[in-house]
Amino acid sequence: MSRILFRLAMLLVAGAALHDAAGALAASPQSSPDTTVALCRFRTDADVKNWQVPRSKPPIVIELSKWPDGQEGACAKVTFPKWEKGSTWMSAVNLKDDNLAIKDWRAFDAMSFEIWSEYDGEMPLRVHLYDSNGGRSHSFSPRIVKGRQTVTLDAQWLNAVDASCINQVQLFITHPLATFTFHLGEIKLHRADLSAKVAALQAREKSLSAEAGAVDSSVLPVSRRDALIGDLKECRGLLDVAARRLQQGADVAKIEQFIALNLTLERAATTLDKARRNLALASGLAQFKNAPFGWGSTTSLEKVFQTDYQFGGAWGQGPNLTLARNEHEAAQVVVLPLRDLKNVRIETGDLAGPNGAVLKQECLRVDPVGYVDCKHPPYKVQRVGWHPDPILTYISAVDVPKMVYQAFWVEAFATQDQPAGTYKGTLRLLADGVEPVSVPLTVTVRDFALQDGSRLPLAMSYQGDRSLPWLYLEGDEEQKTAGYEEYREALRDWTPLDQVQRGDVRQALTVRRQTTDMLMDHRLTSDLIYRGTAPTVDEAKYILSKGANRFTIVYINCAPNLARGSKFPPGRKKEILDQLALRVPQYLQAGILDRGYIYAFDEVHENTFAAVMDIFQEIRKRYPQIPILTTARDPSFGLETGLDEVVDAWAPLLHVYDDQEQERVAARARGRQVWWYVCVSPRRPYPNWFIEFSATEHRLLPGFMSYKFKTDGFLYYALASWANYTKDSKGKWTSGRPSVLMTGGPLTNFTGNSWQNFNGDGRLVYPG
């Protein structure tokens, strides 16, 4: 049977003998360099003129001034005028390029400045950093109230860009809703304290060495014991070198010397991490001495790597799950063989509950976690290579080599009528040639039920229909092409599966339906937000019956290179209006029109806004009750462009949503919704669904973050994008047909890359 595989994250919608005789050197330098360096000062008019401001009416003003509180010294007085229609949407002052005195910031771990605000309330000032490679930090939003305060941006913020080539510091407010005046003092860079870093690492090394002396490491293979001793010894040597260089007065004010010394400390930290992993492993495996394998459990939020990884769960303890009725929840059982094991697998059974209630075996599922090979992506990651991601539903057992971690995904489901209470039983952990092990499993069912689908409005696109059929179509090229057209027609008309003539087309459509069902069961709306043809009533009702809170009526777009000021193409306009004229009365009669919406103009820019207005006005005149959602790039959310009168919901990228707090508050005050979305952007420090990002982030996006930051909805462009992305001879990215289903396990035949090597982007399920 053909299956579609979930990505792991998408089920989340949830001794003394080790010491050298020599003691460690203290890391006290003979003389310390200045800990702060001035990036810019305001002493003369020339200093102020180093800051660039965009043209604006009324103008943005920056001028030399004295501090309002009479404090000694000069500052820059900056005035951002209240935004008016036609003026620039971003009031900003910029220190950039040749006016930026220091461009290599690798020796610094913070930036600070004094500021005095004249505004009575909280001033929405933000800070950006840019590097010469095109990178931009996320917006830093300090809390600035009336009066004087110090603003500090720490290392986490600085690490969002390439610190070796900073080329711009920007202070800004978007669409100022009032006139904001503030006084800006000297901007300082704070040098990283390597002496403190050495001291902290020495303390860690001392603690780990003491722990190593107290732990029975005999359970570890000889190679791991030797590595433990060697890593601690190497770390002490590196720290001694660093401390000695600081004692001897290494000139860490020079960037080259700072970087060299810091690299030494990073190597020491890496060796400590390796030692820590082996110590934790020895402690955890102590209870499994002379056993063929160790085992434990952890949450669904831990990504279990095969090697170079410290298990974060509980050794010797089984999963403990809590869920509502009508909810899926998962945990992981993790196996670590102490010798090579064949055919490792887990069997389930019924769980016994209160008053004779039973959680049936059919409500439990266990599958091996698989791995995909992730190459270097165009964003910073901690590791490349094999990453845990697919749930291997096409196999039940895997071979696991000695000292290689293997996770099994344990998922429970409680039906709407499952009695509340705690259910207990066991999982049987088996492998060829070893005695079975009983792993306790506890599932607590809460005394309430979740509704079908997501309470958060979702606009998500299956997006696999250009790829999936080719994995199942048979025959020569002409026959496959004909089959592809039959697949599209059957999907468009929502033809019952038993009426599809070709067996291979029917199989592809069956897999497609299974995928939709699986996604919907886990509260991910599998719709088609880019559909060019409005769905039949049957298809729309099917989507809604699976728990979707809305469905896409049609997608509207036009050529991205449309000349500025052009109307919407009349031929396509007629097609859209004809479709609406056909389907809207049908939706109304079926009682589902109030749950339909139009998605339009994906990420278009200002050159198309005349066309946007043209088609939207026509639709609004004929069908005022149908809401319109867009990701059009309008930073004013329609206020400045006039689109406010024809757009119901705006969906900016997540970081734009964050940047434009004033604009989204104003838009909601006008009765508009503001959603958010992610795709290949944003990157760190924002969460995304890239494979390398933590599973906690995967769950945050449609969950707690959406609640905390009050987004009106979440849009995601593709759930099953399986195209084969490659570069052509000119270096341009192209998408081709997928060629294979996922096979193998736990190491699969898949890489993680999707569009432009963004691992996992648009691919929340795999074909298998």
Dihedral of CA atoms 571, 577, 579, 582 in degrees, nearest 10, equals -140
Residues, the chain, total? 768
Kindly report the CATH number that applies to the domain delimited by 36-191. 2.60.120.430
pLDDT band at 254 (very low <50, low <70, confident <90, very high): confident
* Residue-by-residue DSSP string for 587-644: HHHHT-GGGEEEEE-TT--GGGHHHHHHHHHHHHHH-TTS-EEE----TTTTTTTSGG
35 pLDDT above the threshold of 90: no
What are the tens digits of pLDDT across the range 256-300?
Answer: 888 889 889 999 999 999 999 899 898 888 899 889 999 999 999
Q: Are 487 and 505 in contact (CB under 8 A)?
A: yes
Alpha carbon distance 749, 315 (integer Å): 31
CA atoms within 13 A on the CB side of 686: 23
Which pLDDT score, from 0 to 100, does residue 221 have?
A: 84
Looking at residue 506, its amino acid is R
Q: Are 631 and 601 in contact (CB under 8 A)?
A: yes
205 pLDDT above the threshold of 60: yes
Q: Single out the residue of 100, 167, 102 nearest to residue 128, CA to CA.
A: 167
135 pLDDT above the threshold of 90: no
pLDDT band at 31 (very low <50, low <70, confident <90, very high): very low
Q: Summarize the chain as % helix, strand, coil (round to 5).
A: 30, 30, 40
Residues 482-498: what's their mean pLDDT?
A: 96
Alpha carbon distance 133, 164 (integer Å): 10
Omega before residue 746 within 30° of 0, cis: yes
Which pLDDT score, from 0 to 100, does residue 3 have?
A: 54
Residues 110-124: what's their mean pLDDT?
A: 93
What are the tens digits of pLDDT across the range 78-107?
Answer: 999 998 877 888 899 999 999 998 999 888
pLDDT band at 528 (very low <50, low <70, confident <90, very high): very high
454 pLDDT above the threshold of 80: yes
15 pLDDT above the threshold of 50: no
Same fold, 36-191 and 291-449: no
Give domain limits for the chain: 36-191, 196-288, 291-449, 464-521
Which pLDDT score, from 0 to 100, does residue 63 have?
A: 97
Chain Cα centroid distance, residue 416: 32
Which position has the higher pLDDT, 32 or 312? 312
CATH fold of 291-449 = Immunoglobulin-like (2.60.40)
Q: pTM of the full predicted structure?
A: 0.86
pLDDT band at 7 (very low <50, low <70, confident <90, very high): low
Alpha carbon distance 197, 266 (integer Å): 10
What are the tens digits of pLDDT across the range 651-676?
Answer: 999 999 988 888 999 999 999 999 99
9 pLDDT above the threshold of 70: no
Which pLDDT score, from 0 to 100, does residue 5 have?
A: 62
Provide the percentage of residues in the chain whose pLDDT is more than 70: 95
Residues in a beta bridge with 440: 426
701 pLDDT above the threshold of 60: yes
20 pLDDT above the threshold of 50: no
Which pLDDT score, from 0 to 100, does residue 175 have?
A: 87
Which pLDDT score, from 0 to 100, does residue 4 have?
A: 58
2 pLDDT above the threshold of 60: no
What are the tens digits of pLDDT across the range 602-627?
Answer: 999 999 999 999 999 999 999 999 99
Identify the weakest region by mean pLDDT among 242-251, 304-313, 332-341: 242-251
Which pLDDT score, from 0 to 100, does residue 13 have?
A: 39
Q: Are 205 and 211 in contact (CB under 8 A)?
A: no
Residues 697-709: what's their mean pLDDT?
A: 93
At residue 278, φ and ψ (nearest 5 deg) are -70, -35
30 pLDDT above the threshold of 50: no
CA atoms within 13 A on the CB side of 431: 21
Residues 237-247: what's their mean pLDDT?
A: 91
Alpha carbon distance 611, 626 (integer Å): 19
What are the tens digits of pLDDT across the range 533-567?
Answer: 999 999 999 999 999 999 999 999 988 788 899 99
Q: Token match 């930290």: residue? A: 269
Sort strands 341-347 and 421-430 into parallel, antiparallel or unpaired: antiparallel
What are the tens digits of pLDDT across the range 381-426?
Answer: 989 999 999 999 999 999 999 999 999 999 999 999 999 999 999 9
Q: Are 10 and 765 in contact (CB under 8 A)?
A: yes
Mean of pLDDT over the chain: 91
Q: Single out the residue of 345, 346, 413, 372 nearest to residue 768, CA to CA.
A: 372
Q: Are 171 and 142 in contact (CB under 8 A)?
A: no
